[in-house]
Amino acid sequence: MSGRASGATTPGLEWIRLGDDGARFVYAESGTEFVAWGVNYDHDRSGRLIEDYWHDEWAAIVEDFAEIKALGANVVRIHLQTGKFMKAPDEADVDALQQLERLLKMAEDTGVYLDLTGLGCYHKQDVPAWYDTLDEAARWDVQARFWAAVATTCADSPAVFCYDLMNEPIVPGPKKKETDWLAGEFGGKYFVQRIALDLAGRTREEVAKAWVDKLASAIRKHDKRHLITLGIIPWALHFYPGARQSLFYSKPVGEHLDFVSVHFYPEKGQLDKALDALSVYDLGKPLVIEEMFPLKCSAEELESFIDGSRAIAEGWISFYWGKTIDEYAAEEDSLTSALVRTWLERFRAMTPAILGTAEAISRTITAPAEEQ
């Protein structure tokens, strides 16, 4: 992996595209290989989603991005909520789109790229009542309008690394009709979402392909340049060793997905199992581990997982929740704070090796004027 460059180019950001072989990322103009090394900025230190405070506390977001940059990250994954961007089934929220445009400019000024993950319904209480009453076809129409609005807003920005259609979508099984679009709760949030409640005589592959095609088409009508992906649950890990293929990245379901995104949380003492499961997703497209954290293993083991995956992965994205290493260190009596601090320190220390240059953590970026 040597010779890879960091995500910061000054002045401005260079567009990211697939390499000519379709198996790696490169800077569009120079052709230099790009590796995604970033964090999920999915909520702040108090659990709030970005739309909950990005109007009133913009300076905090600017500060967080600077802190993320200082860790060596070149990608920030942002999670956009359906109910915050769609005022009605056929009406996008102009204020939210304007704030997204502001975020793009700030990311460009800071020198980081955005992984824009859409269609979130993380806070169940904030999901519009009208959205849950829609049938599958009408719900998909809203989702397509969401992506059309986001793509129109972002089409000309080099700060977008990719569009992630939805966080961890799932398709129902053949023998059960579901009643809830959201599946399971974790830490007060719903990260998993069904794209259908009933197969209605279709195969799971037919449902998945129709959905991916519809949303990708909605994006491509307005933005033919930015990459499209889909962050999935690695069933090859959870049903190891039985699940040896991916629904959403199978052919032809994943035809319009430019690269593979999977979410891996290796378990203690099971590094080989995690790496073997990860190999299932080495499909000839770039592979990004879009979520990772020492949730079930030590920080040292997660670092070993990253090292072990470097032969096949083109990116790794962890988490940042609005607290610096020093702030975590000050919370001496908290085991959780100690865990996060230790991991952030390791993440920062790994940056030169992952990105192939010490320059990644030595650059200084002038804070955007809006912070002043």
pLDDT value at position 367? Answer: 35
How many Cα atoms within 13 Å fall on the side-chain side of residue 4? 23
Helix (H) or strand (E) holding 16: strand 16-18
Q: Which domain holds residue 140?
A: 38-351
Reported as a single tens digit per residue, the pLDDT across 25-41 is 999 999 999 999 999 99
Strands 260-263 and 287-291: parallel
Residue with tokens 């949303």: 215
The rounded average pLDDT for each run of 10 residues, N- to C-terminus, in the chain (372 residues) is 37 91 96 98 94 97 98 98 98 98 98 99 96 98 99 99 99 93 94 98 98 99 99 93 88 97 98 97 98 97 98 98 95 91 98 74 34 31
Q: Is residue 66 situated within a structural domain?
A: yes
Q: Is residue 28 situated within a structural domain?
A: no
Q: Is residue 32 situated within a structural domain?
A: no
Q: Is residue 196 situated within a structural domain?
A: yes
For residue 12, the SS3 value is coil
Q: Is residue 30 situated within a structural domain?
A: no
Number of domains in the chain: 1
CATH of the domain at 230: 3.20.20.80
Q: Identify any residues that bridge with 167 across adjacent strands, giving them in sequence order.
A: 231
Q: Is residue 250 situated within a structural domain?
A: yes
pLDDT value at position 241? Answer: 80
Alpha carbon of residue 265 to chain centroid = 15
pLDDT value at position 357? Answer: 57
Measured CA angle at 68 (ends 67, 71), to 5 deg: 90
